[in-house]
Amino acid sequence: MGTHWLCCGGFFWSELAMDADTDGSGGPDESGRRRKVHGMLKLYYGLDEEGKISEKSQSLDPCDINGPHFDPELYLNKLRRECSLAELMDQETCMVKQIRSLDSDMQTLVYENYNKFISATDTIRKMKNDFKKMEDEMDCLSANMAAITDFSANISGTLQDQHAQITKLSAVHTLLRKLQFLFELPARLNKCLELKAYAQAVSFHRRARCVLQQYSHLPSFKGIQDDCHAIMDMLAQELRQRFRDGGTSAKDLSECVELLLQLDEPAEELCDKFLSHARSRLEADLQGLEAEIRPYPTAVKDASARRSSAGSPTDSSPKTSSLPSPTPNTDILEFIDRGCNEFVSSLCLVIASYQELFINHAQTGELASKNIPQMANRKLHVFVDDLAAQYFSLVERRIQEEKGVSDNSLLVRALDRFHRRLQAVSKLLPNSTVPNQGTEIVIRAATERVKQYLAALQSFYMDSLTDVRQALAAPRLSVAGGTGSGGGPHLGGGATSRDAPNSLPELLSILSASILNQIKSVLASVHLFTAKDITFSNKPYFKGEFCSQGVRESLVVNFIKFVCQSSRQFCESAGDKGGSTPPALLLLLSRLCLDFETSTISYILTLTDEQFLVQHHSPVTPVTILCTEAREAAQKLLNHYVKVQGLNISQMLRKSVETRDWVNTIEPRNVRAVMKRVVEDATSIDVQVGLLYEEGVRKAHSSDSSKRTFSVYSSSRQQVRYAASYTPSAPMDTNLLSNIHKLFSERIDIFSSVEFNKVSVMTGIIKISLKTFLECVRLRTFGRYGLQQIQVDCHYLQMYLWRFVSDENLVHFLLDEIVGSCAHRCLDPSPMEQSVIEVICERG
Amino acid sequence: MEDDAPVIYGLEFQARALTAQTAETDAIRFLVGTQSLKFDNQIHIIDFDDENNIINKNVLLHQAGEIWHIAASPANKAVLSTCYNKTNDSKVMSCAAVWQMPSGWETGSHESADDSAQNPQTLELLFDLDSGTQHSSSCVLWEPMGDGKRVISLADNQALLWDLQESPTKATVSSTATLEGKGQLKFTSGKWSPHHNCSQLATANDTAIRGWDLRTMSQIYCVENAHGQLVRDLDFNPNRQYYLASCGDDCKVKFWDVRNVQEPVKTLEEHSHWVWSVRYNQSHDQLVLTASSDSRLILSNMVSISSEPFGHMVDDEELSEGEDNPQEEKVKEPLKDSVVSTYEEHEDSVYAAEWSSADPWLFASLSYDGRLVINRVPRALKYRILL
C-alpha cells in the first residue's frame, strides 16, 4: 500500500515539475529550488535523468547515506571510528538539518496530491450528467431521418413514367434531325461548292456517307446518295483541277490533297502527281543551274529575271543561250548560292509539304492502315535521290571547273553552304543518302583541291628554280669570271660576288623563304576546310583522314618528296651530257636539301600537325624518312657538284697535257697559264662553296706548306736501283720502296662522297683534278724540259692548292706521284733545281 | 672451302699491256709488255701452273720501244703484235708490228728460271704494220677465232685492215676506214666483233662508240656520248651478238644493245675512278671484269643481260641428288646482277685485265707498277654457275 502511494506521488510530482517547466513563470529561484528537490527525490528513488532505474548509480556502499544499501549501524560505526568529536557534532547537526527539510518537503507533496484527487472526483461527476442529455437528442434525430426516407421513395415512384416518355421523345428528335440533314445534304453540298467551301462539303459528305451506304436499299436514300455522289465527283474534279494547276499556294495545295485523300482518291496517284509536278519545277531550277556551267555561260547578271522565267524552262533556255554573254562564269559561291536558294530550298519545301500531306497526316487518319506512309515514303526517296543526283552531278561539274587555286575561301564557303543546306534535307529525311552523297562530293572536292595545291606547289617550285637559274645566269653573278690572280683571289672573288645583288646565299634564302611561304599559304588555304565554323569540318573524314592522308601525306610529304626527287634529277639528266645544269644551281639545291633535312622538313611537318591536329590513325611517313631522303638528295647533289667542277678542271688539265709536245719543249720560264687558271677556278669554287657551306675541319698545316720541296729524288733513286739490280724478273716485288710508301698511305678514293663542308668539297674537286693530271702525264713521254715544266707546274699548284683541302698531305702525295710518274716517262730525267723552281713560281 | 689466294708476280718495269695467249688453250699463259724509256723493253710470257700455284715466266726482249698494247695471234702461238713507242732524235713515234717468238724460248726457260745471268732472247720482227703515212697506232686487233691472217690496226683516225696472206714477212692494207669529223679525231680503242662472221668492228673515239662494217668499211652505228667522258675500252659479249660493254673516264661501265643506241641496257657505277678495261668471260658471259685507275679490279655477275638470264637450268633429278650439299641451296635463289668481288691487291692504277684463254675461271690483271695478279672466280659462284 505504501509503495503504491509513493509511486502515485512520483507520477504527480513529475507532472507538476513539467507544469512548472512549461509555464516558466516561477522565476529562476523557484524553479532551481524545485529542480534541486526533484533531483534529491529522484536520487532517493534511484531514478536517473531519464526516469529509469539506473543500476550503475546504485552504490553498494553501505556507508552511502543516500544509497539503497545504507546500513545505519555500519555508517555510525564508521563515523565514530573516523571522525573526531567535533566532526561528529557537525555531522549530527548537518544530518538533523537534512532530515527536517526532507520531512517538510514530504508534507507539502502529500497535501498537493490530496487536493488533486478531490478536483478529479468533481469533474467525473459533472460529465456523467452531460452524457445523459446527449443520448436523448440522438434518439430524436434517428426518428426524423426515417420519415425523410419514406417521403423520397414516394416521389420517385410517381415520376418514373414521365421520365421514360421524355427519353423516347428526345431520341426521335435526334433521328429526325439526322434525316433532315440527309435530305438537305445535296443542297448543302451544292451550296458549299458554290462557295468553294470544299472542306465543309467534304466533312458533310463524310458524315453522311456511312448512313447512306447503309440505307442505300431504300429508294429515297438511294436518290440522295446518287445526288451526293454526283456532287462529290464534281467537287473532286474541281479539286484535282486545282491540284493540277499547281499555281496555288502550298497551303491550298495541301488542303486540296488532304480533301482528295478524304475522298478516297488513290494516294499513290496523288503522290505521283504531286511529285511530278514538283519535279517539273525543280528541274527548271536545275536547268537554270546547268546553263551557268556551260562553256560559254549564259550568265545573266540579273538572277531574279531568270528566276522568274525559271517556271517555264522551255522558253527560258533558248532565250538565254541566244544571249552569249561576255562575262565569265559566275563564281562558285554564287553558283552554289543559287543552287541552294533555288533548288535545295524548294526541294526541302517539297519534301516538307509532301511529308505533311502524305506521311504525317496519313499516319493519324484512318488512311494509315493502307500502308500509305510507307508507299509515300518510298516514292519520296526515289524522287529525292533522283533529283539530288542530277543536282550533285551539276555541282560536281561546277567544282571541277574550279581549277584556279587563287582563292580557296570561296570554294570552301561554297562547299560549306552546299553542305549546310543539305543538312536541311537530312533533317527532313533522316534515312536519305543525299547528305552522305553531298559529304562525299565535298570530300572529293577537298581531295581534288589538295591535289591541285600539290601541283601548284610543284609548279611554283619549278618556276622558282627557273628564276634562280636565270639569276645565276645573269652576268653579274659569274663568280668564275676573272677575280684576280695570284695571291689575293680569295678576297677579291668574295667581294665581287657579295656585292652582287643576287648572291648565292641570298638566292638560297629567297628560294627557301618563298617555298616556305608558299607552303604556309597553301596550308592556310587548305586549313579552311577544317575551320570550326564550317559544317563539314566535324565529319570524321575531315577530322582524321583529310588531315593525315590528305594534307599531311599527299600534300606536304609529297611536295617534300618532289623537291628531293626533282633535285636528284638534276644529277641524272645532266650526268652524261654534262654542264646542262649550272654548277652553282647544284650547290644551291644541295644546300637547300640539307636545310630541308636539318630544319625545314620538321618545321613544316610540325606546323602541319599543329594546324591540323593530325591524329595518326593510319601510318604516316615519319619525319626521319623524309629527312633521310633530303639528306641523300643533298649528298647526291653535292657529289655531283664536285664531279662537275672536278671535271671542268680536269678537262683543262687534260687538254693542256694532251696537246703539247712534251719532248721538244723549251726550258720552262714560267708557270703555264693553265695552272694559273686551275688555281683561279679552284679559288672561285672555294668562294662559291664558302658562301653556302661551312668551312669544315682540316688537319693541322705544317709551318710552311707552300715552301715544301718535293723532288724527283725518290723516283730517280728507283731508277738507279733498277739499273743495279737488273735481273730477269723473279716472282717478287722489286718496286719495294714505292709500294711500301703506298702501303702506309691510305688508298685514295677519287670520286667518293664528300661531307657537307667547304673543305671536303674542295678536297674532292682537287683530288679529281690531280688524279686526272696524273693519268694524263702517264700517257705521255717527256723530254728534259717537259719534266721541268711539270715540276714548275706542280710546285705552283702546291703553293696554292694546299689551303683548300682538308689534308695537305693528300695534295703532296698526288703531286709527288705526278712528278714521279713524269720522271718515269722522261727520256732525260734531269730535274730542275728547287730554288729555280721557286723563283719561277714566285714570279708567277 | 677457302678460295685460293691470289698469285702475285712483279715486273721491274712499269707495264700497261697484257693479253692472254689466245692460241694456247692448254696452258694458262699471259703476255705482258713493259714500258720503259731507258732500258730494253720486255715481253714476259707468264705460265701459271694451276695445280701447284706456281708462276713460270720467260722473258723476250722487245727492243723496238715501250709497249702500249699487245695482242696475240689467235692461230699461231708464237705470233703476237704490239703497239710501241719509238723515240728517235727527241721524236716519239707510235708504231705497230707483228712479231715472232724465237723458236727456242720455251726449251731454255725451265731449267734456267733461277739463272739470272742468262740473257733473254729477242723477238723476231715479222713485219711492221706501217702504211707509210705518219700515224700513231693505238691498238692492233686480230680476227677473232680466225687463222691469224687478218689484222686491224687503229691509227689516229684510221682503221686499217691488213691482209697477211700473201707472204709471211709482208702485210698489205686491204681496206681502210677513216673517221671524218671536226678536229683531231683519234681512235682510242676498238674491238673486232666475233659475230656476224667477223665482219664488224667497234671503235671508240672520245665519248662515242662506232660500229663499222668491214666489208664496206662504212659506219653502221654510232653511240654518241656513250660515256660522259672518254671511252677507254670495249668488249663484245661472246654469246649475244648485239651486246657490247664499254667503260670510260666517267667511272662507269655500260652495256649496250647496238640495235638501240639511245640508252644503255645497264650501267655499273662501282669504280671510283676511270675504268680502263672491260672484259667478258668468253665462256660465261655473265662474268664481267673491269679494271680501273682506282687500283681496283671488280668482277661483276651480270646475269640479267647474259645469255643465261635465268641461270643454268637445273633438273629435278640433279636437285634431289645434291640435297645434302648446302651449296646446292643457292642454286634455287633467283639470280641477280651483283658485284661478285672487288680485288684490291693492286696499289697503282690497273690498266689491263684479261681472262685466261685456257681456264675460264682464271684471270690476270696488271697495274702500272708492274704488278701482275692472277685470281680465280670464287668457288661458290663457280659452282653456282656450273651446277
Integer angstrom CA distances of residue B12 from A14, A280, B81: 146, 105, 22
Give the strand pairing for B124-128 and B91-100: antiparallel
Per the DSSP assignment, residues forming a β-bridge with B127 are: B98
Check residue B279 and give its pLDDT. 93
Distance CA A791, CA A454 (A): 58
> CATH second-level architecture of B7-108+117-386?
7 Propeller (2.130)
B308 vs A16, higher pLDDT: B308
Whether B37 and A826 lie within 8 Å, measured CB to CB? yes
Residues of B in contact with A826 (CB under 8 A): 37
Q: B255-282 pLDDT, tens per residue?
A: 999 888 888 888 888 888 889 999 999 8
| Cβ pair A343, A285 in contact under 8 A | yes
Last residue of a domain, one of A622, A649, A676: A649
Count chain A–chain B contacts defined by CB atoms under 8 A.
92
Find where cell 653456282 sits.
B384
The Cα B124–Cα B62 span in angstroms is 9
CB contacts, 8 Å: B11 with chain A: 729
Question: In this structure, are A302 and A350 located in the same domain?
Answer: yes
Query: Can you spell out the DSSP letters for A537-602?
Result: GGSHIIIIIIIIIIIIIIIIIHHHHHHHHHHHHHHHHHHHH--SS-HHHHHHHHHHHHHIIIIIHH
One-letter amino acid of A626: L
- Which strand (E) or helix (H) includes residue B289? strand B287-292
Residue with more model confidence, B105 or A171: A171
Say if residue A270 is in the same domain as residue A213.
no
**Residue A640: alpha-carbon gap to chain centroid:** 43
Residue A711 bridge partners (DSSP)? none
| ipTM score for this prediction | 0.85
Which chain B residue's Cα is nearest to A726? B12
Q: Which among A728, A731, A825 is the nearest to B37, CB-wise?
A: A825
Nearest-Cα residue of chain B relative to residue A727: B116
Mean pLDDT (whole number) for A685-692: 86
Q: In chain A, how many domains are there?
A: 5
**Backbone φ and ψ of B150, nearest 5°:** -125, 135
CA closest to B44 among chain A residues: A729
Q: Which of residues 263-282 of A touch B (CB under 8 A)?
A: none
Please tell me the distance in Å from B198's CA to the nearest CA on chain A: 31
- Judging contacts by C-beta atoms under 8 Å, the chain A residues touching residue B368 are 778
Q: A676 with A645, same domain?
A: no
A258 domain-assigned: no
Instruction: Give the pLDDT score at A489.
Output: 35
CA distance A802 to A807: 8
Q: How near does any CA of chain B get to the CA of A664, in Å?
A: 7
Q: In chain B, what percentage of residues exceed pLDDT 90?
A: 15
CA distances from A343 to A302, A387, A428, A535, A536 (A): 18, 9, 15, 20, 20
Cβ count within 10 A of residue B361 = 20
Q: How confident is the model at residue A484 (pLDDT cuts 50, 70, 90)?
A: very low
Helical packing angle, A434-473 and A372-401, nearest 10°:
10
Chain B residues closer than 8 Å to A658 by CB: none
Higher pLDDT residue, A241 or B244? B244
Check A731 against B293: CB less than 8 A apart: no
β-strands B189-192, B200-205: how paired?
A: antiparallel
Question: Closest residue of A to B350, CA-based?
Answer: A775
Minimal Cα–Cα distance from A587 to chain B, Å? 20
Residue A238 banded pLDDT, cuts 50, 70, 90: confident
State the cell numbers at B65: 720501244
Domain boundaries, chain B: 7-108+117-386
Please indicate, yes or no, whether residues A368 and A501 belong to a single structural domain of this protein: no
Question: Which of A421, A283, A279 lies closest to A354, judged by CA?
Answer: A279
pLDDT digits (tens, 9 = 90+) for A127-171: 888 777 778 888 888 888 888 888 888 888 788 778 888 989 999
- A38-44: which pairs have CB atoms within 8 A and are 24 or more residues apart? A38/A13, A40/A102, A41/A10, A41/A13, A41/A105
What's the rounded Cα separation, in Å, for the pair A593 and B229?
A: 28
Once rounded to an integer, what is the mean pLDDT over residues A487-512? 56
Distances A745 to A266, A742, A748, A818 between C-alpha atoms, Å: 106, 5, 9, 16
Check CB contact under 8 Å for A827 and B87. yes
Closest-CA residue of chain B to A720: B38
Which residues on chain B are in Cβ contact (under 8 Å) with A727? 116
Window A:322-341, CB contacts with B under 8 Å? none
Residue A377 maps to a domain: yes
Q: Are residues A420 and A543 in the same domain?
A: no
Same-domain check for residues A631 and A685: no
**Kindly report the CA angle at A364 between A362 and A368, in degrees rounded to 5?**
50
pLDDT confidence bin for B355, thresholds 50/70/90:
very high
User: Which pLDDT score is estimated for A706?
Assistant: 45
* Residue A703 confidence (pLDDT) above 60: no
Grid coordinates of A691: 658562301
Amino acid, res. B320: S
Which helix (H) or strand (E) segment holds residue B330: the answer is helix B326-332
Q: pLDDT for A245-281, tens place per residue?
A: 765 566 677 677 777 777 766 777 777 777 777 787 7
- Which residues in chain B have Cβ-Cβ distances shorter than 8 Å to A824? 14, 37
At A19, is the pLDDT very low, low, confident or very high (cuts 50, 70, 90)? very low
CA A683 to the chain's CA centroid: 54
Return d(Cα A836, Cα A829) in angstroms, integer.
16
What pLDDT is recorded for position B290?
93
- Summarize pLDDT for A777-797 with one digit per residue, the tens: 888 888 888 888 998 989 888
- Please name the residues in contact with A386: beta carbons below 8 A apart, sequence gap of 6 or more: none
Distance from CA of A801 to the nearest CA of B (A): 21
Scanning every residue of chain A, which has its alpha carbon at the shortest distance from the alpha carbon of B351?
Answer: A775
pLDDT for A744: 52
Per-window interface: A 631-650 vs B, CB < 8 A: 647
Q: Tell me the per-residue pLDDT of B14-36, one tens digit each, with 9 for 90 and over.
A: 888 999 888 878 888 899 998 88
Cα B117 to Cα A119, A604, B33, B108, B370, distances in angstroms? 175, 79, 21, 13, 21
pLDDT of residue B246: 93
CB contact under 8 A, A751 and B251: yes
Same-domain check for residues A104 and A202:
no
Final residue before a domain boundary, out of A196, A216, A245 = A245
Secondary structure of residue A60 in the 3-state scheme: coil
Helix, strand, or coil (residue B305): coil
Rounded to a whole number of angstroms, the distance from the CA of A480 to the nearest CA of chain B is 23
Contact between B219 and B201 under an 8 Å Cβ cutoff? The reply is no
Q: What angle do CA A740, A741, A747 make, to 5 degrees?
A: 105
pLDDT at A747: 60
Helix (H) or strand (E) holding A833: none
- Residue A771 counted as domain residue: yes
- Assess whether A409 and A288 both reside in one domain: yes
**Predicted local confidence at residue A296, as pLDDT:** 45
Q: B155-213, pLDDT tens digit by residue?
A: 888 888 888 876 667 778 888 888 887 777 888 889 998 888 888 899 998 888 999 99
**Which of B229, B267, B298 is the mutation pick for testing A, counting most A CBs within 10 A?**
B229
- Residue B114 in this model has a pLDDT that exceeds 50: no
Structural domain range at position A35: 2-132
pLDDT at A690: 85
**Domain match, A676 and A626 both:** no
pLDDT at residue A160, as a whole number: 78
Co-location of A238 and A281 in the same domain: no
User: What 3-state DSSP class applies to B49?
Assistant: strand
Dig out the grid coordinates for B344 from the structure.
684490291
**Nearest-5° angle of CA B265, CA B270, CA B274?**
95
Residue A687 lies in a domain: yes
The residue to which cell 652524261 is assigned: A576
**Between B12, B116, B272, which is nearest A750 by CB?**
B272
C-alpha span between B269 and B227 (Å, rounded): 12
At A325, is the pLDDT very low, low, confident or very high (cuts 50, 70, 90)? Answer: very low
Specify whether A362 is located in the same domain as A487.
no
pLDDT mean over B224-249: 89
Task: Scan residues 244-283 of B and list those with Cβ closer than 8 Å to A.
Answer: 250-251, 272-274
What are the φ and ψ backbone dihedral angles of B122, each rounded to 5 degrees?
A: -110, 145
Reply yes or no on whether the pLDDT at A532 is more than 80: no
Classify residue A641: in a domain, yes or no.
yes
Would you state the pLDDT for residue A256? 73
Query: Mean pLDDT throughout A290-294?
Result: 73
Q: In angstroms, what CA-CA distances link B290 with B199, B281, B340?
A: 26, 11, 12
Label residue B234 by pLDDT band (50, 70, 90). Answer: very high
What is the percent of chain B where pLDDT is above 70?
85
How buried is residue B80: exposed, middle or buried, by Cβ count under 10 Å (0-12/13-18/19+)?
buried
Q: Do A663 and B90 touch (CB under 8 A)?
A: yes
Q: How far apart (Å, rounded) are the C-alpha atoms in residues B360 and B362?
A: 6
Nearest alpha carbon to residue A344 among A287, A425, A274: A425
Q: What is the pLDDT of residue B326?
A: 45
Compute the Cα dihedral for A414, A415, A418, A420 and give only its sign.
negative
DSSP A188: H
Residues 6+ apart with CB under 8 A from A401: A293, A329
Report the candidate in B282, B280, B319, B317 with the shortest Cα–Cα distance to residue B301.
B280
Cα angle A656, A659, A665 (rounded to 5 degrees) comes to 90
Q: Do both A190 and A119 map to the same domain?
A: no
